[in-house]
Chain A
Amino acid sequence: MSAIRLGVVHTRYLLLETVRVPIAIIGALVFPALSFLFFVVPQRVVAEDPVLATQAIIQLSVFAVLANGLFGYGLSISQARETPWDPYVRSLPVPASSRIMGQVLSTGTIGFLAVIPVIVIGVIATAATATPGGVVLGLVALALTSLPFAFIGISIGYGMPSKAAIAVVQVVMFGLAFAGGLFLPPALFPDWLDAISRLLPSRQAREVVIWAVQGGDVPVFELVGIILWTIALGVLALVLYRRDEGRRFR
């Protein structure tokens, strides 16, 4: 019980710290919404087609969650490792579960906030449509498929110093976003790019969330793919975290 109470306390202060540096929020909140406004809304062929417009909303929502996971975990962890505040907090009487809860909930909150403007603009400015059940399933799928991105962020955070992390996070983010069909729909991809794209967790997340919202055939290949990515990246994150424990206190 008190672990949950402390988890809420940690969430609150992590959010407070994030909000005090507005640029961090602006990156997370504004970029997906602006991309939607500039790249989707003016393309009337897409915007006026209910199916394509809905998929565009989903693409940029996945992008919002991807960017937030990479920045939220990757940068905050690599920076935290460089200040002695982190070992100080570790020596307070707080269980590790409360700290993890704080990290996940605060990053998750920002991710959730980042999706809202995309959906709002989509509903107002395009012909996108979904059933209430589809929206709920879509949000659940979005939350679950955000795990591999969180693990990539955690791996980057523990794997490299913050200056390198900033660069790597951006390269990984744009690479996964473009090749994963989050900016341009994969229908426009040449075959060779589509083949690579289908192996990426970003593309797999896109297909799984679209399936959750719009129904249709179960995307077996993508579903299995993203589960494998989640396990592999989760193991990587754990290994890097463990390795870091010994190194930090030399």
Chain B
Amino acid sequence: MMAPLARLDSVTRRYGEVVALDDATIDVGEAEILGLLGPNGAGKTTVMSLLRGLIRPTEGRVELFGLDPRDHTARTALGVTPQETALPATLRVGEVVDFVGAHYPDRVSTTELAERFGFGDLLRRQTGALSGGQRRRLSVALAFAGRPRLVLLDEPTTGLDVDGRRELWDAIRSQRGLGATVVVTSHYLEEIEALAERVVVMSEGRIVADDSLGAILGKVGERWAVLESPRADEIATLPQVVGARIDGDRLELSLDDSDAFVHALVASGIPFSSLQLRGATLEEAFLSIVNGASR
């Protein structure tokens, strides 16, 4: 197995009494998109700050390309984004890109980067005059200015409209095609679903799941069913049912095998109507994992 690009090895980080990260181990491998998912305060930003070398672990060890990320040479092949509100308002777009690019031995030219992320016509504009979406695109583009092998994107599309978000996702995926590994945090489940191949779910500073996107989805039961029945309670006790929510006659079920469930339901003779089956969304997977972990 190849050495990971970055790893957290049994890392705990405390801020005074607060435990932001509790004995977390994560390996980030070559050329994958890793989604860090969790509610606010779950520890995602702490993981990012540790990998960026902004903070030290209280216990355990953080490695970036085999070095301590607080050593600036470790960060030569790392790309990070500023929050879009952080861009120096008086500098022009081209100047910000040149400034950031100057830190890397093999930088992408300003015009090429601008073209890839769609702000080629804005290079002479001061960043203070950009719209929120334009700033967002510039911020994400900065992470790719130095041809990084590892990119950290913290909530990359917060505040973007639907079109803007999809455009940015396309740009990120195409960068991934050039060989960059991407770690993306989000509390938009849709974003993780669209981008990530591997998902690490965090809750209250702990890692509660670390698996492929498909496996995470599988954890809540592969399929969900919605139906109506006067004897909802009995349906919920069928063996294929993993989880159930009953609201009067209406039932929402999480299933481990939808075909077997339908056979069993019909065979039981319980009356039902309006049966719908669908795949679980990441949101459902996420809630069930987080709830399961806190129980």
A: residues with CB less than 8 A from B are 6, 9, 13, 16-17, 20-21, 83-85, 87-88, 90-96, 246, 249-250
Q: Which of B81-89, B109-117, B244-252 is the contact stretch? A: B81-89
Report B-chain residues with C-beta under 8 Å of the C-beta of A16: 90-91, 95
With both chains docked as a complex, state the minimum distance between the C-beta of A93 and any C-beta of chain B, in angstroms: 4
Can you list, as one digit per residue, whether each of B56-96 has a CB less than 8 Å from chain A (1) or not (0)? 00000000000000001111101011110111101100010
State whether B100 touches A92 (Cβ < 8 A). Answer: yes
Report B-chain residues with C-beta under 8 Å of the C-beta of A87: 49, 52, 54
Residue B262 lies at the interface, judged by CB distance under 8 Å to chain A: no
Residue B55 lies at the interface, judged by CB distance under 8 Å to chain A: yes
Measured in the bound complex, the distance between the Cα atoms of B81 and A119 in whole Å is: 45
Which 7 pairs between the two chains have the least Cβ-Cβ distance? A20-B90, A88-B82, A91-B52, A85-B86, A84-B86, A93-B75, A84-B83
**What is the chain A residue whose CB lies nearest that of B81?**
A88
State whether A90 touches B103 (Cβ < 8 A). Answer: no
Residue B104 lies at the interface, judged by CB distance under 8 Å to chain A: yes
State whether B99 touches A20 (Cβ < 8 A). Answer: no
Q: Which of B15, B76, B85, B86: most chain A CB closer than 10 A? A: B86
**What is the chain B residue whose CB lies nearest that of A248?**
B54
Measured in the bound complex, the distance between the Cα atoms of B49 and A84 in whole Å is: 12
With both chains docked as a complex, state the minimum distance between the C-beta of B206 and any C-beta of chain A, in angstroms: 19
B: residues with CB less than 8 A from A are 15, 49, 52-55, 72-76, 78, 80-83, 85-88, 90-91, 95, 99-100, 102-104, 126, 146
Please report whether the interface of chain A is mostly helix, strand, loop or mixed according to DSSP. Answer: helix
With both chains docked as a complex, state the minimum distance between the C-beta of B69 and any C-beta of chain A, in angstroms: 8
State whether B91 touches A91 (Cβ < 8 A). Answer: no
User: Which of A6, A17, A21, A250 is within 8 Å of B102, CB to CB?
Assistant: A6
State whether B78 touches A93 (Cβ < 8 A). Answer: yes
Measured in the bound complex, the distance between the Cα atoms of B88 and A39 in whole Å is: 38
Report B-chain residues with C-beta under 8 Å of the C-beta of A20: 90-91, 126
Measured in the bound complex, the distance between the Cα atoms of B72 and A96 in whole Å is: 9
User: Which of B72, B73, B83, B88 is within 8 Å of A17, CB to CB?
Assistant: B88
Q: Which of A16, A20, A91: most chain B CB closer than 10 A? A: A91
User: Which of A21, A83, A94 is within 8 Å of B72, CB to CB?
Assistant: A94
Measured in the bound complex, the distance between the Cα atoms of B78 and A47 in whole Å is: 60
State whether B86 touches A90 (Cβ < 8 A). Answer: no
State whether A250 touches B75 (Cβ < 8 A). Answer: no
State whether B88 touches A9 (Cβ < 8 A). Answer: no
With both chains docked as a complex, state the minimum distance between the C-beta of B165 and any C-beta of chain A, in angstroms: 21
Report A-chain residues with C-beta under 8 Å of the C-beta of B85: 83-84
Given contacts A91-B54, A93-B73, A250-B15, contact A85 B82 (CB under 8 A): yes
Report B-chain residues with C-beta under 8 Å of the C-beta of A88: 80-83, 86
Report B-chain residues with C-beta under 8 Å of the C-beta of A9: 99, 102-103
State whether B103 touches A6 (Cβ < 8 A). Answer: yes
Measured in the bound complex, the distance between the Cα atoms of B75 and A249 in whole Å is: 19
User: Which of A83, A91, A96, A246 is within 8 Å of B75, CB to CB?
Assistant: A91
State whether A93 touches B72 (Cβ < 8 A). Answer: yes
For the complex with contacts A9-B102, A13-B91, 16 further pairs of A-B residues with Cβ separation under 8 Å are A9-B103, A13-B99, A16-B95, A20-B90, A85-B87, A88-B80, A88-B81, A91-B54, A91-B78, A93-B72, A93-B75, A94-B72, A94-B103, A96-B72, A246-B15, A249-B49
Given contacts A6-B103, A17-B90, A17-B91, contact A84 B82 (CB under 8 A): yes
Given contacts A16-B95, A249-B54, contact A95 B72 (CB under 8 A): yes
Given contacts A16-B95, A84-B85, contact A92 B90 (CB under 8 A): no
Report A-chain residues with C-beta under 8 Å of the C-beta of B90: 16-17, 20-21
State whether A93 touches B82 (Cβ < 8 A). Answer: no
Report B-chain residues with C-beta under 8 Å of the C-beta of A85: 82, 86-88
State whether B86 touches A83 (Cβ < 8 A). Answer: yes
